[in-house]
Structure 1
Amino acid sequence: MTQQGVRWTSEQVLALAPDEASRKAGSRLGTAGPWSESGCDDAGAVWGLCKGSGSKPYRTVIDTSGPGYKCSCPSRKFPCKHAIGLLLLWSTDEQPMPGKAPDWAERWLKGRRSRKSDQSSPDHEIKPVDEHAARRRAEKRADRITTGATELEQRLADLLSGGLAAAERAGYGLWEETAARMVDAQAPGLAARVRELGTIPSAGPGWPTRLLEECALLHLLDRAWLGREGLPDALAATVRSRVGAPMAPQGPAIRDTWQILAQYDTADAKLTTRRIWLYGEKSGRSALILDFGAAGRAPEIALPVGQTVDADLTPYRGQLRAALGERYTTPSEPDAPPPGVTATEAVERYGRALLNDPWLDAYPVTLAGVIPTPPNSNETNWQLTDTKEELALPITQNAAARPALWKLMALSEGAPTTIFGECGHRGFTPLAAWPEDTKKLVPLT
């Protein structure tokens, strides 16, 4: 059993999987057949041996209070299919049975818990920071970013003076070369936005308008960086974050019971980014946890969607982003979804957020009393119709291609539904929903 005496549900376990392939592979291992010597304890540990293709079974151990995972398999995904399968087996309340961890599992658990104890100890030694050296490094990097931003301004000016049609003729190579220059300038945020520009000319009808909009936002970011000394502190912090300058969370930490509303990954050739949306039941704050995995590895932080966790979060200045700190309990069921708002209020919240971050693509919102509606012959997008205001929010086109929208239709059954998602200038992206009959969160990602 966990510390609350409740095992996770299968939905909570599958929400931890890094991708759909891991969910399917883990589900096949969620039965007693491939497992031996499995067990669990009251401290939240689960362990077992899983039969694989080799002569030796894979050793899998999990600390559900983290959660943290360890498996002897060669998978680079985190958690791997064996960890997912073992947790699914554990979620049945039948196996594994409570017991004492074997030596190989106990060693990992002891080391993990010892590290957590040392870090939380008041006697934990903190190495002194050479503030002068750190300041010099920051100044040197800022100078390189300034050089990159100045060069980028010139390239944008050349593009506009030559006409947007030149961007289509030049192809993606022009943008990739410019992005590489921004990487050299230690401005990964600028590099990412430049790469995004390179994909627009092939996006279909209307691309010149969108390219001009994105160029304007990039120009605004360049000018904001070059004039950052005259900006308010919060906006200057946002600009530093947007260009990719190193940022650290700034306390004090906020302890709350955080609802885990959504978790999803996006990936490119070099990096996998995991986004986890949380809502504080006492503070009423929304928070975004970002974690990254390089070279095909899944990010390490994974939280069970639909549950709550009593934990510390330390915010980044001027951002919704926060760093996950100490967790005091294992996940548990929330009492109710976050308070919902109308479609008008959702758009207003996004508009207010743009005052502090003009480059914000979307803002987390819980909508109450909306009905998902498929497009008719005169429309191209799905919509979320607000039953109180008789207004509709378009669902983003990338989301419209997801089979999850039909799942959302089935959950709502044509009735008003509470839906959490991201509201932005391209529409609303639904990430989770609460059917009226159960009020239990159902992930849509």
Structure 2
Amino acid sequence: MSGRWDRERVLAVAPDAAAAKAAAGVARAASWAGTGCDDAAVWGECAGSGRTAYRAAVDLDEPAYRCSCPSRKFPCKHALGLLLLWSEGAVESGPRPGWAAEWIEQRRDRAEKARERRQAAAAKARDPRTAERREQRVDGGVAELDQWLRDQVAHGLAQAEKAPYRLWDDAARRLVDAQAGALAGQVKGLAAIPRQAGWPDRLLEEYALLRLLVRAYQRREELPPGLRETVRSRVGFTVQQEEVLRDGERVRDSWHVIGSRDVAQDQLTTRRVWLRGRESGRPALVLSFAAPGRPLDASLPAGARVEAELAFYPGAQPLRALVADRLATTPAGAGAGVPAGLTVGAFLDEYAAALGRDPWLDRWPALLSGVRLARNGGPRIVDAHGDALPLLSAEPWRLLAVSGGAPVTFAGEWSPRGLLPLAAWAEGAAGGEGEGAGGEDGDEGVVIL
């Protein structure tokens, strides 16, 4: 059997603190019957308030969760409670019951069919005639967007300020029809720019970046290979995971998981997990996606350290990656350690260099050491040199409560509008999900912000 999870790893996959607390209430052997496990799954039946017990199972490979209870949380308290029992050694090995075996086999079948569909789509995309037709459609859509952008500037931004969202939605729809999906998403996002002070400047900046992307795509054959791949990706040409795992740049390191963020948009939830290489100092972004009500990948909890080899997607500034080979995971508070951060000045130099390679970068992971929270002029992070970055948080009190005003190691997601807090490592911090995990071997506690 593969190694059992420890308690910290189980609680790290809880959707919120309430679910983690409720799981402790059902993690009692007396509440369960028919429990069992093997090298890929855990299952059992938990007594509920009614006559019928709730059947819960966990596919450990992904992981994925199943429970017959009506909860909309994934994983629910029953699946979490079952995992807690299993982590404590209270679940013995045994054969799968029919209902658990059926669920796991169905999952395997769906995964295999999805893999076959991806392979078929990749084969179709490699067909020269299909690729040529796609290029022609995208060329037409990009040319139309070029004219649309020039028209918006010629008509003036004052008119755009009074325009309905349909102005950008219609342009985005035409790009979807032209099979330039990523470009369509950027155009549609213009409607969400807050119409407040500085709105015209912000809109003009976005128009300029889109025009730069349009011109770069139209002259893509003149670009260096890395930048050409970046431009194609920003327009909507995707690279299959199989290609990334086969041909992508590989980096083996001890990766600190410095934070994650979930974003829901267009009936799809995206989880962005940020990592930092302990030896290489290299940042990485691992994405996962899920439809509403479906669980997201929880195998990279914030604060953990993962010994792994990552495969990076091609580009002028390779950032997005896949976990190609995972060797070991050290949970937060179990010796994962504190990642080495930068000063504010060094971070801005790093970001400027990355932006020079990819002008369309809209976010970048910030990992800062020895910083404090300041309130003068709005919430800010300040380092020992007095350099500061603004926080995109109207309520930074959790960070203040954790640090007590003392310096911390801070992780955030940076955009030109400020830092979105993700996590902090502070001496003496301790607690559960959403609060912190105390450390061993000199660890400071990590707190999810």
TM-score (ref. length: structure 2): 0.81
Residue of 375, 387, 393 corresponding to 1:391: 387
- Rounded Cα–Cα distance in structure 1 between residues aligned with 2:199 and 2:2: 53
- Rounded Cα–Cα distance in structure 2 between residues aligned with 1:178 and 1:364: 31
Residue in structure 1 matched with residue 269 of structure 2 by the alignment: 272
Give the secondary-structure state (helix, strand or coil) at the position aligned to 2:238. coil
Residue of 196, 200, 207 corresponding to 1:208: 200
Map 1:127-276; keep pairs closer than 5 Å: 130=123, 133-200=126-193, 202-248=194-240, 249=244, 250-251=247-248, 253-276=250-273
Cα gap change, 1:324 to 1:207, in 2 (>3 Å): same
Q: Does 1:424 align with 2:420?
A: no
Give the secondary-structure state (helix, strand or coil) at the position aligned to 1:31. helix
Residue in structure 2 matched with residue 324 of structure 1 by the alignment: 323
- Rounded Cα–Cα distance in structure 2 between residues aligned with 1:292 and 1:392: 34
Q: Tell me if structure 1 keeps the 8 A contact 2:62–2:297.
A: no
Q: Tell me if structure 1 keeps the 8 A contact 2:248–2:314.
A: no
Cα gap change, 1:128 to 1:391, in 2 (>3 Å): closer
Map 1:34-113; keep pairs closer than 5 Å: 35-37=31-33, 39=35, 43=39, 45-52=41-48, 55-64=51-60, 66-73=62-69, 78-88=74-84, 93=88, 96-100=90-94, 102-104=96-98, 107=101
After superposition, give the CA deviation of every residue in 1:183-220 in whole Å (9 maximum; x if it has no partner): 111112111111221122x4311111111111111111
After superposition, give the CA deviation of every residue in 1:106-146 in whole Å (9 maximum; x if it has no partner): 7379859999xx9xxxxxxx999758853333332222222
Q: Tell me if structure 2 keeps the 8 A contact 1:61–1:105.
A: no
- Residue ranges of structure 2 left out of the alignment (5+ in a row): 113-118, 429-438
Residue in structure 2 matched with residue 281 of structure 1 by the alignment: 278
Residue in structure 1 matched with residue 432 of structure 2 by the alignment: none
Cα gap change, 1:316 to 1:189, in 2 (>3 Å): same
Q: Which stretch has the larger CA shift, 265-274 or 23-32? A: 23-32
Q: Tell me if structure 1 keeps the 8 A contact 2:381–2:388.
A: yes
Map 1:305-344; keep pairs closer than 5 Å: 305-318=302-315, 319-329=318-328, 331-332=330-331, 333-344=334-345
Give the secondary-structure state (helix, strand or coil) at the position aligned to 1:338. coil
- Rounded Cα–Cα distance in structure 2 between residues aligned with 1:131 and 1:66: 28
State the number of aligned residues.
417
The residue identity in structure 2 corresponding to 1:424 is S
The residue identity in structure 2 corresponding to 1:426 is R
- Residue ranges of structure 1 left out of the alignment (5+ in a row): 119-125
Superposed displacement of residue 176, structure 1: 1.1
Q: Tell me if structure 1 keeps the 8 A contact 2:272–2:288.
A: yes
Q: Tell me if structure 2 keeps the 8 A contact 1:26–1:83.
A: no
Residue in structure 1 matched with residue 369 of structure 2 by the alignment: 368
- Rounded Cα–Cα distance in structure 2 between residues aligned with 1:395 and 1:25: 29
After superposition, give the CA deviation of every residue in 1:343-371 in whole Å (9 maximum; x if it has no partner): 00011111000112111122223111000
Residue in structure 2 matched with residue 406 of structure 1 by the alignment: 397
After superposition, give the CA deviation of every residue in 1:27-53 in whole Å (9 maximum; x if it has no partner): 323323694127566857543323456
Give the secondary-structure state (helix, strand or coil) at the position aligned to 2:175. helix
Percentage identity across paired residues of the two chains: 43
Residue of 3, 24, 27 corresponding to 2:21: 27
- Rounded Cα–Cα distance in structure 2 between residues aligned with 1:239 and 1:130: 22
Q: Tell me if structure 2 keeps the 8 A contact 1:291–1:301.
A: no
Q: Which stretch has the larger CA shift, 216-225 or 50-59? A: 50-59
Superposed displacement of residue 76, structure 1: 6.6
Q: Which stretch has the larger CA shift, 261-270 or 63-72? A: 63-72
Cα gap change, 1:337 to 1:113, in 2 (>3 Å): farther
Give the secondary-structure state (helix, strand or coil) at the position aligned to 1:29. helix
After superposition, give the CA deviation of every residue in 1:204-255 in whole Å (9 maximum; x if it has no partner): 1111111111111111111111111111111111111112211232335444
Q: Tell me if structure 2 keeps the 8 A contact 1:2–1:64.
A: no
Residue in structure 1 matched with residue 434 of structure 2 by the alignment: none
TM-score (ref. length: structure 1): 0.82
The residue identity in structure 2 corresponding to 1:149 is V
Q: Which stretch has the larger CA shift, 303-312 or 351-360? A: 303-312
Superposed displacement of residue 323, structure 1: 1.5
- Rounded Cα–Cα distance in structure 2 between residues aligned with 1:73 and 1:242: 42
Residue in structure 1 matched with residue 7 of structure 2 by the alignment: 8
